[in-house]
Structure 1
Amino acid sequence: MRKIIVILIVLFISVSNLTAQNIKTELDHYFSALAENKQFNGNVLIAENGKVLYQKSFGYADFSTKRKNASDSSFPIASITKTFTSTAILQLVEKGHLKLEDRAAEYLLDFPFKEVTIKQLLSHTAGLPIYDSLFFPIIAKHPDAVFTNKDLIPAMISQKSTLLFKSGDDFSYNNVNYNILALVIEKISGLSYGAYLEKNIFGPAGMKDTSLSKFFKRVDKNLSERYVVKYPYSEEMQSAETIEEFKVANHFDFQGHGDLISTCEDLLKYDTSLYNGKLLKISTLKQAYTPVLLSNGNDNIQRYGLGWITRENTLMGEIVKHDGGIPGGRTMLLRNLTKHQTIILFDNTANNVIPISDNALTILNGGKVDKPKKSGAKIYGIALAEKGIESGEKTLRKIQKDSLNYYISEGEINSLGYALMFNNKENEAENAFKQNTLLFPSSWNTYDSYGEILLRHGKKQNAIKMYQKSIELNSDNENGKKILEKIAD
């Protein structure tokens, strides 16, 4: 009998090891295909029960020097930072220094919104004004101004700001909530926000490669630079810091919402410290992972808890996560609490990591996902821009016949058309908008966009037909109605 038991144990271990190896192989196939398609550029770490199952780096940390991403590469973790701010606040709650139902104004005496509670700030149900309304009027007058957390309350007062809605009645994801929480942490602890995190989170968790940043930078030879694709019809990468619309971020040096820099391995240490109770009690974490209800008793739209995005229970288990996004960067920390599974993703070319993490979770739990496909719009756009309309159309026809390896997105082709138009490739842009109507004939927006460029090119009668078709498909297209009324006279 003992011999049979030993044999069964050996068989179980062998099968478990084989399953783990198969999952690792499937994960590698998936991420390697993404990297080949230029749909992932960065680091991935996937763990189960605190042990690394799959870890790999893809692409360049610095495209100009060809320095590659590596296991010790560091990244700005963006809004994953909010989970650290939440952890700090909940530590202060556990120590009896404040309560979740306390009003923020009890600690920040000048804070103008006297009814807003700590819990509402944590759950984005406070209704605070956003950066735009607080600081853009000031930036217009002082274009070199740089703002920190200490400027928030004075700006609220000087701009005579009002709440977006009655606190607790609705949900509005807003970085300002967490900047105010950072001020609360400093007021109660007597430490700077960074010093508090170092003493009470980074140190206990053994996170030696995590720190605050300055405009998403720090002195760090392993820091991955951030990039975006310059045009939808090109594979050329451009530093995110050189893009005009992103330069507004240089005015904001806030803390608490998205300003930490870390590594995959340090985030795994953080994850482990949350699981083993080193940072917070299990009962406190359970509260953090519970969606905060609105005043009408309904879940908020993101099922946001206290610093964590939650999912309704699935067959895979109870999932909590937080993703992050900054110019040229996307991040994800996803945790399957039921099965103690952890997925950490950093991408320094702004690829959307949310569907990637979902697919990785499916593979991790033995499921199958489709092979990543290449962007048909991208391939068509490159041919169109570099070789002309005839070549572009020929390439598009080939792509349409190869649905196994390519996908075609209406939104991507629409964006391609506008990018071509704004960069003086007018004929190519017209072709892109035209092709979109042929590919997606039931979409009102394709006809609206095509009508816009036809009108721009003086093709009034054809433009009228396109706007009429757009309105026929969508009677709520008020802008189309206005344009049609104007040009039909």
Structure 2
Amino acid sequence: MNKKLILITFFLLQLVRTSGQSKEQLIDNFFSALVKNQQFSGNVLVVDNDNIVYERSFGFSDHITKAPNTPDVNFPIASISKIFTATAILQLKEKGLLKITDPVTEYLPGFPYPEIKIIHLLSHTSGLPPYNAFFDKEKKENPDKVFTNKDFLPGVIANQQPLVYQPGEKGNYDNINYLILALIVEKVSGKSYEKYIEKNILKLAGMKETRLFPLPEQFNRPEIKKFAFPHIYLHLYDDKPVKSNSIPYVREYWRSYAFRGFADYVSTIRDLWKFDKALYDNTLLKQETLEEAFVPVKLNNGKNNPDEFGLGWEIEKDSTMGKLVYHSGAAMGLSSNILRNITRHQTVILFDNAHFNAHENATKVMMLLNSKKVNMPQKSIAKIYGNILYNKGAAEARETLETLKKDTLNYYLSENEMNALGYDFMGNSNPYHLPEKHFYKQAIETFKTNTNLFPDSWNAYDSYAEALLKDGQKDEAIKIYQKSIELNPDNKNGKKVLEGLLTKQKN
């Protein structure tokens, strides 16, 4: 009888091990496909009931020098820093030093919005405009000025702006809310924001690899040891990213706006896991406080705010795997995510220093961890097509597109991506304020190809006509606008442009 029990126990243990290996392999297959498709460069940690299921690093911390990402590389966690700020506010609440229903004016005298309460800031429902709305005028007059938290309250008082909406009426995610919360932390605690976080969060959680590293320094120091530099693919047709700090506009923006409280920390995957564990074992906050934080804050009309924000945390609407809470971080050339399944005690921590899809990928990993089906990553035909068109010409680009279209297992074709690629070639979008580039020949080829691929799309024809017009091909543009309007008689802008062209043609 004892031998039978031993055998049964042995086989059950083997089954558990096999199951764990299976999930690990599924997750590894997922990331291997992402990396192969140039869709991931970073670190990932997957934990199930305090056991590491998966931990790996991919890609480069510096794509120029080819320095690899490693588990101990410091990653900018961007807005994940906000959960440190929220935790600080909730700790002060537990100590009875503030109430989240208190108006901000109680702690920051002169703050010109008496209707805004701390809870509005925590849940991004304050209605405040972005902080640059208060300072852009002064920045224009004094380009060398560097704005810090000390400048914030005087600047807001001196240049009061109208609210976007009444507090609690709607919701919109904005850094300004957490900048103000950081000021409240300093006012109530009597300590600097950095020292408060260091003593009451990082030290308590045993986080020795997490530190405040202000954004101006992140983007303005060319050499930093053991640091994952943010990288950007400037165009859809690029096959290599550039360092974000190589772009003058990016450097200048973060040099000018040196505000803190919302995106200032760098960390490692293992150190963020320590923070995660400190939440689970209530080292940082009481369980009742956490439960309150993980409930979406209601709007004035009684409905959940649109982003399902609680007190510093966002809550997933889909609860089929359990209650999922998370916070993402993103900046120019990076994304990060901490996703916690508090029902099943599972956590996914993910950093990526070249893409903006950390939350999407973390969610898929959580699905794999819970035996949910996830489609394997596919490569974008539009991006491959664009790269070949730019580097080798139209004939080879068309030939490659026709070949890849047949491989629907590994490649996908998107009308919207092809459309975006066309506008990218046109040079319509220049978010980084770089010298303008206009490749009208490639844009026309891309839009024309898109109409062949999606012949029933009025928008594809409308974009094609716009490119022809930009290139001075007015007669051909008229024909294509007419085709677009034939497919969509409600294309008002197309009708307006066509009318103008026909009038000029008559004259």
What is the TM-score of this pair, normalised by structure 2? 0.92
Matched AA of 2:449: Q
Uncovered stretches (5+) of structure 2, i.e. residues with no partner: 428-436
Matched, 1:225 2:239: no
| Distance in 2 between residues matched to 1:238 and 1:413, nearest whole Å | 22
| Distance in 1 between residues matched to 2:139 and 2:447, nearest whole Å | 37
Aligned to 2:146: 146
Deviation at 1:300, TM superposition (A): 1.1
Q: Is the 8 A contact 2:214 2:265 kept in 1?
A: no
| Distance in 2 between residues matched to 1:250 and 1:475, nearest whole Å | 49
Q: Is the 8 A contact 1:240 1:246 kept in 2?
A: yes
Aligned to 1:178: 178
Alignment counterpart, residue 274 of structure 2, candidates 269, 274, 280:
269
| Distance in 1 between residues matched to 2:490 and 2:140, nearest whole Å | 35
| Distance in 2 between residues matched to 1:435 and 1:87, nearest whole Å | 52
| Distance in 1 between residues matched to 2:486 and 2:325, nearest whole Å | 43
Question: How many equivalent residue pairs?
Answer: 489
| Distance in 2 between residues matched to 1:268 and 1:314, nearest whole Å | 22
| More divergent stretch after superposition (326-335 vs 47-56) | 47-56
Q: Structure 1 203/388 Cα, relative in aligned 2: closer, same or farther at 3 Å?
A: same
| Distance in 2 between residues matched to 1:475 and 1:120, nearest whole Å | 44
Q: Structure 1 292/473 Cα, relative in aligned 2: closer, same or farther at 3 Å?
A: farther
Aligned to 2:264: 259
Aligned to 2:238: 234
Matched AA of 2:337: M
| Distance in 1 between residues matched to 2:490 and 2:76, nearest whole Å | 41
Deviation at 1:3, TM superposition (A): 5.2
Deviation at 1:447, TM superposition (A): 2.1
Aligned to 1:345: 350
Deviation at 1:428, TM superposition (A): 1.3
Could you say what secondary structure the match of 1:203 adopts?
Answer: helix
Q: Structure 1 205/476 Cα, relative in aligned 2: closer, same or farther at 3 Å?
A: farther
Q: Structure 1 294/432 Cα, relative in aligned 2: closer, same or farther at 3 Å?
A: same
| Distance in 1 between residues matched to 2:288 and 2:369, nearest whole Å | 27
| Distance in 1 between residues matched to 2:348 and 2:82, nearest whole Å | 17
| More divergent stretch after superposition (434-443 vs 373-382) | 434-443
Q: Is the 8 A contact 1:45 1:55 kept in 2?
A: yes
Matched AA of 2:231: Y
| Distance in 1 between residues matched to 2:135 and 2:489, nearest whole Å | 38
**Structure 1 residues 367-409: Cα deviation after superposition (integer angstroms, max 9, x where no partner):** 2322211111111111111111111111111121111111122
Aligned to 2:320: 315
Matched, 1:449 2:463: yes
Matched AA of 1:314: S
Aligned to 1:279: 284
Aligned to 1:459: 473
**Structure 1 residues 40-67: Cα deviation after superposition (integer angstroms, max 9, x where no partner):** 0011111111221100000111122211
Aligned to 2:432: none
Give percent identity, aligned residues only.
45
Q: Is the 8 A contact 1:125 1:171 kept in 2?
A: yes
Deviation at 1:28, TM superposition (A): 0.7
**Structure 1 residues 138-163: Cα deviation after superposition (integer angstroms, max 9, x where no partner):** 22212222211222222222222121
Could you say what secondary structure the match of 1:52 adopts?
Answer: strand
Aligned to 2:369: 364
Deviation at 1:475, TM superposition (A): 5.8
Aligned to 2:23: 23
| More divergent stretch after superposition (97-106 vs 43-52) | 43-52
| More divergent stretch after superposition (20-29 vs 127-136) | 127-136
| Distance in 1 between residues matched to 2:334 and 2:405, nearest whole Å | 31
Could you say what secondary structure the match of 2:385 adopts?
Answer: helix
Could you say what secondary structure the match of 1:488 adopts?
Answer: helix
Aligned to 1:403: 408
Aligned to 2:431: none
Alignment counterpart, residue 430 of structure 1, candidates 431, 436, 444:
444
| More divergent stretch after superposition (294-303 vs 466-475) | 466-475
| Distance in 2 between residues matched to 1:390 and 1:407, nearest whole Å | 20
Q: Is the 8 A contact 2:232 2:242 kept in 1?
A: yes
Could you say what secondary structure the match of 2:215 adopts?
Answer: coil
Deviation at 1:459, TM superposition (A): 2.2
**Structure 1 residues 148-190: Cα deviation after superposition (integer angstroms, max 9, x where no partner):** 1222222222222121111111101110000000000000001
Matched, 1:486 2:486: no
Q: Is the 8 A contact 2:39 2:355 kept in 1?
A: no
Matched, 1:38 2:48: no
Matched AA of 1:96: G
Matched, 1:94 2:94: yes
Q: Is the 8 A contact 1:229 1:349 kept in 2?
A: yes
Matched AA of 1:173: Y
| Distance in 1 between residues matched to 2:97 and 2:490, nearest whole Å | 53
Aligned to 1:110: 110
Could you say what secondary structure the match of 2:238 adopts?
Answer: coil
Q: Structure 1 459/389 Cα, relative in aligned 2: closer, same or farther at 3 Å?
A: same
| Distance in 1 between residues matched to 2:487 and 2:9, nearest whole Å | 63
Aligned to 1:69: 69
Alignment counterpart, residue 297 of structure 2, candidates 289, 292, 295:
292
Q: Is the 8 A contact 1:333 1:342 kept in 2?
A: yes
Matched AA of 1:459: Q
Q: Is the 8 A contact 2:330 2:356 kept in 1?
A: no
Aligned to 1:412: 417
Q: Structure 1 216/263 Cα, relative in aligned 2: closer, same or farther at 3 Å?
A: farther
Q: Is the 8 A contact 2:214 2:260 kept in 1?
A: no
Spell out the pairing of 1:295-306 with structure 2 (5 A cutoff): 295-306=300-311
Deviation at 1:13, TM superposition (A): 2.2
RMSD: 1.8
Matched AA of 2:99: K
What is the TM-score of this pair, normalised by structure 1? 0.96
| Distance in 2 between residues matched to 1:361 and 1:126, nearest whole Å | 32
Q: Is the 8 A contact 2:91 2:285 kept in 1?
A: yes
Q: Is the 8 A contact 2:216 2:254 kept in 1?
A: no
Uncovered stretches (5+) of structure 1, i.e. residues with no partner: none
| Distance in 2 between residues matched to 1:124 and 1:400, nearest whole Å | 43
Q: Is the 8 A contact 1:40 1:351 kept in 2?
A: no
Could you say what secondary structure the match of 1:73 adopts?
Answer: coil
Aligned to 1:124: 124
Q: Structure 1 167/8 Cα, relative in aligned 2: closer, same or farther at 3 Å?
A: same
Matched AA of 1:354: H
Deviation at 1:318, TM superposition (A): 0.6
Matched AA of 2:137: P
